[in-house]
Amino acid sequence: MHYSTVHSPVGIRPASSGARREHARGRSAALRARALEIVGILYRCEPDAAAQLLMRHSQENNLKVAALSEALVAVVDGASDEPDACAQTTLAAHFWLREIRRLGRTHRRSDRWVRHVAASGGCVSGSRTEARKSSVRQSDPNRVDFLTQV
């Protein structure tokens, strides 16, 4: 007698709902950890401050923290696993793209200021010698840099 049912190997069988929940919990914990790491890098802060910033962004923009975390990881690391992203995640991705653009401009301004203070030797009056002025090099000759104008 031939049986019509073909049994799959043990490793391929669908997991129970408890195992799926544990896998989802582990995935979401890894996602949260990666999101906190990225927020810490973006804002140049510690993980505790990154968690507070993530919570504040969630409240100010009326988005779930999970959606913000998932969108940030998807924006930075590439596409998410699920092709059907919900509206919350899409809105959160747009938020992160705007925020990254804004932070890039802010960091460039503050980095220029730090370079300016370091090049002037911490002198606020601005009296520098020509030797110090010539030591400040501009990275792109087409870009107008504040330091070259000082």
DSSP H/E element including 50:
helix 47-60
pLDDT band at residue 6 using 50, 70 and 90 as cut-offs: very low
> What is the structure's pLDDT at 126?
46
> What is the structure's pLDDT at 104?
79
The answer to whether residues 89 and 66 touch, using CB atoms and an 8 Å cutoff, is no
- pTM of the prediction? 0.51
The answer to whether residues 127 and 103 touch, using CB atoms and an 8 Å cutoff, is no
Q: Where does residue 36 rank: exposed (0-12), middle (13-18), buried (19+ CB within 10 A)? A: buried
What is the pLDDT averaged over residues 76-84?
Answer: 64
Q: What is the C-alpha separation between 94 and 15, in angstroms, rounded?
A: 35
Q: What is the C-alpha separation between 124 and 111, in angstroms, rounded?
A: 17
pLDDT in tens, 109-118: 666 666 666 6
